[in-house]
A and B are shown apart, each in its own frame.
Chain A
Amino acid sequence: MHELSIAQEIVDIIKQSVPVNQWNLIKSANLQLGVFSNILADSLSFCFEASIKNTELEQTKLIIEVIPLTIHCENCFSDTIVEDFIFYCPKCFNPNITILTGQEMQLTAIELFDNHS
């Protein structure tokens, strides 16, 4: 699996978003990770920690918000959070559904330590 290359992409994006003289002041980065993204949160955390060790980002925490799989039924228009990956509406059993959430893999915020100025 490739959580390590994903972690390295995350580090790159963090560095692009913050001036280089503040890289050592990054407290945390928030990541939305969908359950249907094929990436495991625990493995990703581990790989992130390995990627930042002995770098300016050594103190940075990756805060992962796991996003559930929500499906929208095109027949009865209901939205349901599904635990198992069954792609039909649990209310009307119609298979014509679209995925609303659960495929995310995006950084949403970066927080600096209080003494960043």
Chain B
Amino acid sequence: MYNIIEELTGINMGLITIERKVLEKNDLIALENRRLFKEKKLFVINLISSPGSGKTSLIEKTIPILKAKHKIGVIEGDVQTDLDAQRIDLLGVPVVQIVTNGACHLDAMLVRDAFNRFGDKEFDFLIIENVGNLVCPAGYDLGEDMKIVISATTEGEDKPLKYPVIFRNSQAMIISKIDLLPYLSNQKSDFSSFDIEKLRNNSLSINPNLKIFETSCMSGDGIVEWCDWLTKFIR
């Protein structure tokens, strides 16, 4: 019958036009998460970086400063182990560990299920530490208020250019491990050294509105400024 209709009208009955975003399932759950967080007046950040850039260390330094005035909760995401959750647990704030068993990023459903594990606990600030990865987390909305990207001094100046999506999609960037700066410029060698201004410029070329912080969890430099900025968003 379709062939007759096609002959008479010229309409291709075998062509179905749709407009379906591939990540719509994630985006719907992210929207629900966002609504729930807003209802609870919760400020939520999604912390993203390569493995070893200092996400957990930054959280360890942030909590003692903000804990006095705010109720903080942390969701940790890793491929394996609860090592990061154990570190946060020592600071006396509620923490839930997501173990992805292979997934290279957190998604909205994992975050929703993790948040439900907090039960009745009340927070005004939720930190989500994503799986160490500068690529995949960039494309997944978790329902957060903002994505924060960390790039360590040891990672060089070119990460914003190599991983533009995450730098474009973040509201703030932390240049971590600035205590290592004296060791990263070696005038005795021809080998190129780290230029922090070049990193700043590369970041701003991808995202001119990026708020940039320079921190060291070893020395404590820059942590207060970072916390002061965060408190502006927490109710």
Interface residues of A (CB under 8 A from B): 1-2, 5-6, 9-10, 13, 17-18, 27, 31, 36-39, 85-88, 95-96, 99, 105-114, 116-117
10 contacting pairs across A/B (C-beta < 8 A): A6-B22, A9-B23, A13-B22, A17-B20, A87-B206, A95-B208, A96-B208, A99-B168, A112-B14, A117-B3
Whether, in the assembled complex, B105 has its beta carbon less than 8 Å from a beta carbon of chain A, the answer is yes
Q: Compute the total of residue contacts between A and B using a CB distance below 8 Å.
A: 88
Given the known interface contacts A1-B135, A109-B17, A112-B16, the answer about A87 and B208 at a Cβ–Cβ threshold of 8 Å is yes
Q: A85, B164: Cβ atoms under 8 Å? A: yes
List of A residues within 8 angstroms of B135 by Cβ: 1, 38
B22–A107 contact, CB under 8 A? yes
- B22: A residues at CB distance < 8 A: 6, 9-10, 13, 31, 105-107
Q: Is the CB of A13 within 8 A of B20?
A: yes
Residues on the A chain within 8 Å of B191, using CB: none
Residues of A within 8 A of B204 (CB): 95
Residues 194-229 of B, flagged 1 when their CB comes within 8 A of A and 0 if not, give 000000000011111000000000000000000000
Contacts of A95 in B (CB 8 A): 204-205, 208
| CA–CA, A9 and B28, complex, Å | 14
Taking CB atoms and an 8 Å cut-off, the chain B residues in 45-100 that contact chain A are: none
Extra A-B contacts (14), CB below 8 Å, given A5-B103, A17-B16: A2-B105, A9-B23, A10-B22, A13-B20, A36-B168, A38-B135, A85-B206, A86-B206, A105-B22, A106-B20, A106-B21, A106-B22, A107-B19, A117-B3
